[in-house]
Structure 1
Amino acid sequence: MRKLKGIPASPGIASGPAYIFQVTELTIEKKTISDTSAELKRFEEATHSAIQQINAIREKAESETSSEEAAIFDAHAMFLQDPTLIDAIRQAIGKNAINAEAAVNEAIETHAQTLERLEDEYFRA
């Protein structure tokens, strides 16, 4: 038997198969762009499309499970609408003239580093 240690989501003991989450590093190519307005528009369109897709997945999940279980997708959509994150992405595109993918990656990395510095281990996880 193999013992795993981690941060529990709830109190108590659990036994059974464990899923070990392994982070896959994505390689995001950072490109300098010349038309920041077009890149901002591309970002806005991609965000709108992603929110529509998440909402469709949420509706399907709700019809197949419950609204409580499907509510996780609300959090995903809210993440894409976070004003602080969106502002950081827009600024990276506009001021640094970088592609949207790299701007999103940088903004998320910055937010993740902020959470990692918090004292609350729940937010650091």
Structure 2
Amino acid sequence: MPRARLTGLGGGLFACAAMALAAGIAWLLFDSSLFAYGLLFLPVCAATALWVRPADLITAPISAPIAFAAGVWPLTGGSGGFGAQLMGVVSALSLHAGWLYGGTLVAALIALVRKAVLIGRRRLPRRTA
């Protein structure tokens, strides 16, 4: 696994780009299935939380819902202009909130465990001294 190198902004951009790619995959292979999109959302959240810098760990669970919303836009299928597209996104976010909460929880748990390990490593030399 590569070392954590993404900044907070980089992690958010990575998640948005990965979810746009996931939306394309769901559109091409699964006929715009939001179930497949949700399944692809979980590993993207995990990867974002694993690859962000330790100083920016708090941004991983924040960027997850933003990436979900950014990627779901092409899958909503509204064809009546901007208002229809916007209502499609809002409907998709409300109907598939389980995926949204699940991915955010995955990112938050990984960030929490990473932060706990970092704090433990920081305190370990104090105990031995």
Alignment TM-score, normalising by the size of structure 1: 0.33
Greater per-residue helix proportion: 2
Q: Looking at CA atoms only, which structure, 1 or 2, has the larger radius of gyration?
A: 1
Alignment TM-score, normalising by the size of structure 2: 0.32
